[in-house]
Amino acid sequence: MRIFIVISLNLLILILTFCSTNQIQGNLPESGREAKIFPDYSGITIPPNIAPLNFYIDEEGSDFQVKIFSKTIDTIFCSGKTVDIPLNKWKTLLESNLGNELNLQIYVKNKDNHWTRFKTIINHISSERIDSYLAYRLIHPGYEDWREMGLYQRNLENFNETPIIYNRSIDENCVNCHTFCKNDPGTMMFHVRGNHGGTILLKDKNVKRLNIAGKPLISGGVYPAWNPDGKHIGFSVNKITQLFHAIKEKNIIVMDTLSDLVVYDIEKNTIISDIKLMGNEFMETFPAWSPDGLYLYFCRAPKISDTTKYNEVRYDLMRISFNPQDNTFGWIDTVIQAKNINGSISFPRISPNGKYLMFTLADYGTFPIWHAEADLYLIDLKTNRLIKMEANSSDTDSFHDWSSGGNWFVFSSKRLDGQWGRSFFSYVDKNGKSSKPFILPQKDPHFYETFLRSYNAPQLVISKIEVSQSAFAGIVLSDSTQAIYSGN
Amino acid sequence: MSGYNQNLKTSIFKVFLVFGNMKKKTSKADNKIMFLENKLKYALPWIFFAFLIIWFGFVANHVIIYQSTLKLFFYDPYYLKRYFDFPGGFIDFCSSFLLQFYHIFWLGIIITALLNIGFYFLVRTINRIVFPKSQTDIISLLFSVLLFGLQNYHPFIPSYSLGFSFTALFLVIFLVISKKSYIASVFSCVIFAVILYFLTAGYVWIFAGMSGIYEISLRKSFKKLIIPALAVASPVIVSLIGFKFIYPVSPNNIWLEKLPFQFDEQIKSITILLGVLMILIPAFSFIKYSKLINRLNKPLIFSVLIVIVVFLISYLTFNSRLKTQFLNRNYVLNDKYSEIIQLADDAPSSNMLVSFGTNLSLYKKGLLLEKMFQYFQGFGINGLMLYGDKKPLSDLLKSKLYYDLGYINESHRWAFESLVQSGETPDALLFLAKTNMINGHDKIAEKYINLLDKSLFYKDTAMALRKFLNNEELMSLNNELTGKRKQLPNIDQFADNLEERNLEFLLKNHPENKMAFEYLQACRMLKLQVPLIVNNIREFRERNYSQLPASIQETCILYWASTGKKPEMAGYELNKNYMKLFVEYAKMVAHFRESYDKDKIYSQIKTKFGNTFWFYADFIAKN
């Protein structure tokens, strides 16, 4: 009996030591710098509903202690080089401290058994929530053939990830271009390429498979954009080619040889366009709608010929008025001329309040994810003021998407290594100033060190997509509805 | 022989019966034979085990070699979790765990043999439970022989063997329970079906079939129908639940996930045969199987039968062409060029990958332009550079070729393509790490090195590469990586679909690139671009070739003969023997064109000139 009590007590002490009591007592002198941590969660603004920002301490030492605290609520204590923050305590801490600072106090014990207190890492808890889900495609970056890939949704409030559609369930067809109408998981679409090719459309709890390809279109639908009315989808139709560079500084270039714009009317099952969007003079791509659905923004470059140099192709930002009542187009305006900003514009995305348009600017071309120089820009649509965003890095920053509230945005950045796109989040204030971005948190902070897939085309979604993967798979393998081209 | 013995024994037995009092002596003789037969019964599985070791060690060694190059097993939470994304993930997990040991060749063989013999013992146990009064041990070996047939196919990785073994294991437990308690067997049938679905997916049907038939044979009245109904209903329900709510299974593959049906028809047929035989074991009781077996219980006869079946299965399932291909591929990736040439001499093959390996080896041995037409070149430029070959198996070979040529971006491209198609294999990770280090992309290289570090047998490789990261000084001491850096192109282009343009591009950047030069000449010969070769003989002089390689001389002679213009030889002399031979060749070709018995003349030309560029130009390239 006595032995049992002794063992139990020892075990209890051991457990308590690990859980919470292993705290540093007394005041230690502060080191002049912040501790190095990965991911870099220092000086960032975070939404109150984000999952715990687990990290590891990239400092030499034999023991590690971390205090996470704000103005109110108990401090969270963690120990060990890898910091795994308890979900419930984290949530309570954040929700109780909206608008306050979030402090990370890190202590490291060195070889001489002396503790060092690093400068407190200060972050800011925003009072604005971010949409709860992130939808993305996990793929190997840069390939000709594909094999295994899928569209996934991740609950941003914890670490749960579930497949929207995994391509092994649809005979390894390619899935891409998942897009939502106003961040609504109930109104969405994605494309399938391969022997079950088509466009999968989810609206009003109905899922159907569309075939948009067919004469006179040069391809099936490629880059999509939902009109906020939920009744129209703008598509580019593109002939895309991928080429491989020979020098070490560059890897791949993806470019269009032809492209046009069309709009699909969901209720009438018709495809409409205009000679101004399908002419022989220009290549039009990357559609985006104004929040009122009356303007279709897009990128446009002169059509290339055999003598066109690939690095001289630059896309302007254009817009055309659209009447959703009778499906007619008006006049085209130039919003930004590429030559005026010495670059090429892609991925225009307008904030839900219509104030800003965010786009990616690269030196040339149409697909900036392989351009290290690609950066994010904002244009104030009222004043035409152009803002280079603070969230940019020295590597590729592109493929962005606004949250439904318009205060947060997600984008794809290759800043960690130059090859794999990772999802980063940033807060935009009313003046268009973006906060230092933070990476999509993972349960295991070492995750990104060995994960060989890109988070492709991240999209913020208000809640979970309720249609099951098996239902989507069943539709993909079923017969498609042919969309009818109704001309200009 | 054994039949003769049996007849003899029977006759003697009858005689002894007639003469009555000699029965005791007969029993002694019989006992001796029975003793020997019993010994054989116990020894045969182990003899078969030894046979498997020898077979996979020396005959079908390509199976082990191929499987050792598959996706690595990583000690990493994300990669471990991925095994369980699908039903049957457990056998995939176990299989991948076992496959990592195939890195040590003999360990791979032992594991393969153990998987087989383990299956035998499980089937033997099932037979002993179902037919307690019969001698079924040797018959059980037949199941193992069928599994051996499947193991002879290179894509039949351990997960498939494990699928059969786990099913057999669950059947053993079910049979034991079933004999003791009906109620327990009802529950165990359902529970085992559910567990087996999660562990092995489609193999659950073997369990369902056999347990159902066993219950029908065992019980009377309505009871005999309950377990069969549950045995079928449980996998149906659990598969549908799995499909609807748990796993991203294809609607087309709800029932057969994890069964090896995606490969060739032979694998599918043998798998179905083996599965059906397992299901039917209890059904034999309906045809008085026990009595039949007891009557036919002649271990010697069955042993001979087993040997015949093993022989037949080996003959039907062993593919020597694939063996040559995989050995060749393995030698290429491990720089064993003498072995490749030896293989090409010993087992000439008309396989594109083999042709590629042979040409690369000839170059490495300085013999490409001397002897390339001594080997099969029927694939033209495809056999030189795998141009147009889209099979995943060739991706790494292309990566290797471009690595050797110094076209690092192309090497990276094909290694990456291999990663996409075949997963995180050791060779792909190695090429990706090296090409990124050469290009100075250390952060990218580090990812691949991190992964190698998470495997069991590539930690040293990872450590050796990691020390060069962000250490230019140390890097400069590494001849291989620094040598490749010196070969990096200075001017840009897009990789061309015409392979000779890529070679010309490499030479434009680095005219001293000998491999690019010789490959370009070989390319031109294979594409019959004779004037391009003949009009650039000075390029050999510029590169200090002491004499023109044999194939180039043959090209010059052919050009001279066909155009009447003597090539500009840049100071080189044409070998007079070659010219004499060409005269003879030309006469024979003229004779061939006029002759009615073309086959005979063709055969003569092939025998005498089959190793020349002339023959390639007239008879192979043009066909």
| Per-residue three-class SS string for B401-468 | HHHHHCCHHHHHHHHHHHHHHHCCCHHHHHHHHHHHHHCCCHHHHHHHHHHHHCCCCCHHHHHHHHCC
Whole-structure pTM value: 0.91
Cα B474 to Cα B448, B453, B471, distances in angstroms: 20, 20, 6
Calculate the CA A427 to chain-centre distance.
Answer: 13
Phi, psi at A407, each rounded to 5°: -95, -20
- Nearest-neighbour CA in chain B from A271: distance (Å): 31
Residues of A within 8 A of B444 (CB-CB) are 417-419
Cα A185 to Cα A178, A442, B323, distances in angstroms: 11, 23, 52
The span from the CA of B543 to the CA of B511, in Å, is: 9
A171, B419: Cβ pair inside 8 Å? no
Q: For residue B287, what pLDDT is reported? A: 60
- Residues of chain B with pLDDT below 70 are 1-30, 32-34, 36-37, 285-298, 623
Report the 3 state secondary structure along A363-414. CCCCCHHHCCCCEEEEEECCCCCEEECCCCCCCCEEEEEECCCCCEEEEEEC
The count of other CB atoms within 10 Å of the CB of residue A34 is 16
- A456 strand-pairing partners: A137
Q: B488: nearest CA in chain A?
A: A247
Q: Of A144, A248, A450, which has the smallest distance from its Cβ to B417's Cβ?
A: A144
Q: B447: nearest CA in chain A?
A: A450
A246, B74: Cβ pair inside 8 Å? no
Q: Would an 8 Å CB–CB cutoff place B454 in contact with chain A?
A: yes
Map tokens 């990830």 to a residue: A161
Map tokens 């990772």 to a residue: A422
Nearest to A404, CA basis, from A255, A198, A184, A242: A184
B419, A140: Cβ pair inside 8 Å? yes
- Residues of chain A with pLDDT below 70 are 1-26, 488
- Nearest-neighbour CA in chain A from B454: distance (Å): 9
Q: For residue B116, what pLDDT is reported? A: 98
Angle formed at CA B482 by CA B480 and CA B483, multiple of 5 degrees: 65
Residues 6+ apart with CB under 8 A from A22: A65, A77, A79
Interval A36-74: pLDDT, tens = 999 999 999 999 999 999 999 999 999 999 999 999 878
A169, B249: Cβ pair inside 8 Å? yes
Coarse DSSP helix, strand, coil percentages of chain B, rounded to the nearest 5 percent: 75, 0, 25
Interval B563-600: pLDDT, tens = 999 999 999 999 999 999 999 999 999 999 888 888 89
For residue A406, what are its two tokens? Answer: 């318009």
- Nearest-neighbour CA in chain A from B258: distance (Å): 12
Q: Are A298 and A348 contacting, i.e. CB atoms less than 8 angstroms apart?
A: yes
For residue B392, what are its two tokens? Answer: 């995943």
Give this complex's ipTM: 0.91
